[in-house]
Amino acid sequence: MIVKICGITNQEDAAAAVAGGANALGFNFYPRSPRYIAPERAAQIASPAGVRRVGVFVDETPARIEQISRVASLDTAQLHGAERAAEYPASLPVWKAARVGADFDFAPFRDCPVEALLLDGPAGELFGGAGEPFDWMLAAGAPKPIIVAGGLDASNVARAIALAHPWGVDACSRLESEPGKKDHRKMTDFLRAAREALGP
């Protein structure tokens, strides 16, 4: 099971996330995000073996994604743009993000060559940390493993897991003291609640 903390911008937050039980860290490489981190800076943030390093991208070229993945030692590409399957990076597992609204349909993703679908809440022009949940019942019938994102914190992650039966969960903005800076108490509480709900 994946328990991911996204929007990591510094070593202190990364270390606290891992200590609390996160097994994936997200680095946002979308320049317009308030959580943007330069690839060279992400490379300086250490993480232990077994913790996935996930890059968040929006409409980047495969070549650029692969270049950043080498610089920042990424394990997975999380794609939030309008990328087609032919535009996915060849060297990394892909998590394709989709925004879930009332009329959401899994049909476009049924043959998508991805490791997982990351289901996110509505976010306007923001990517990676808008803090809005979606109706987790809409995750039923997913054709791929799913990761639930959007508006998760310690107060609601167990319910999201109970309703969506995901492969993993991903939290960001509700665990912050300000964009890009984690509140370690909120983060620890979320990780504990997520681990308890996901089980072994």
Tokens (6 digits) for 183: 């509140």
- Choose, from 6, 13, 153, 172, the residue flagged as catalytic: 6
Q: Which letter, b or e, does each residue of 96-123 get, where b requires 16 or more Cβ atoms within 10 Å of its Cβ?
A: bbbbbeeeeebeebeebebbbbbbbbeb
Give the 3-state secondary structure of residue 67.
Answer: helix
DSSP-assigned letter for residue 54: E
Tokens (6 digits) for 100: 């879930």
- Choose, from 13, 75, 111, 120, the residue flagged as catalytic: 120
CA quadruple 78, 5, 18, 154: dihedral sign: negative
Three-state secondary structure of 165-198: CCCEEEECHHHEEECCEECHHHHHHHHHHHHHHH
Yes or no: say if 102 and 154 are a contact pair by the CB < 8 Å rule. Answer: no
Is residue 120 flagged as an active site residue?
yes
Give the 3-state secondary structure of residue 52.
Answer: strand
- Bridge partners, 78 (sequence order): 56, 95
Q: Which residues are catalytic?
A: 6, 120
